[in-house]
Amino acid sequence: MEGKACKKCRIIITRGEKCPICGGNDLTTKWSSYVIMLNAEKSEIAKILNININSIFAINIRE
Ligand SMILES: [Zn+2]
């Protein structure tokens, strides 16, 4: 898995330099572990991570 994670939203971006959620560009490649969120409305993990869209999210962001 390659990509950059938004430090604020944790979403992983594989193309571009801009976060699709917050529109910010505070991205990092220093992340590890990710979850693929397919059912954010019903997912317990999504609640814990405060996620409400279906995408890929980093669990650990270092820095
Ligand atoms: Zn963001």
Phi, psi torsion values for 49, nearest 5 degrees: -85, 0
Would you state the torsion angle of the CA atoms of residues 47, 49, 51, 57, taken in this order, to the nearest 10 degrees? Answer: -140
Sequence ranges of the domains in the chain: 4-61
Q: What is the pTM of this model?
A: 0.84
Give the environment of ion ligand 1: residues with CB less than 5 A: 6, 8-9, 19, 21-22, 24
Instruction: Give residue 24 CA to ligand 1 midpoint distance, Å.
Output: 6
Q: Which helix (H) or strand (E) holds 12?
A: strand 12-13
**pLDDT, position 24:** 97
Instruction: Give residue 8 CA to ligand 1 midpoint distance, Å.
Output: 5
Contact by Cβ (8 Å): 37, 53: yes
pLDDT tens for each residue of 15-58: 999 999 999 999 999 999 999 999 999 998 889 888 888 999 99
Instruction: Give residue 62 CA to ligand 1 midpoint distance, Å.
Output: 16
Q: 4-61 belongs to which CATH class? A: mainly beta
pLDDT at 5 over 90: yes
Taking the C-alpha atoms of residue 2 and residue 4, their distance in angstroms, rounded to an integer, is 7
Count the neighbouring beta carbons within 10 Å of the beta carbon of residue 10. 22
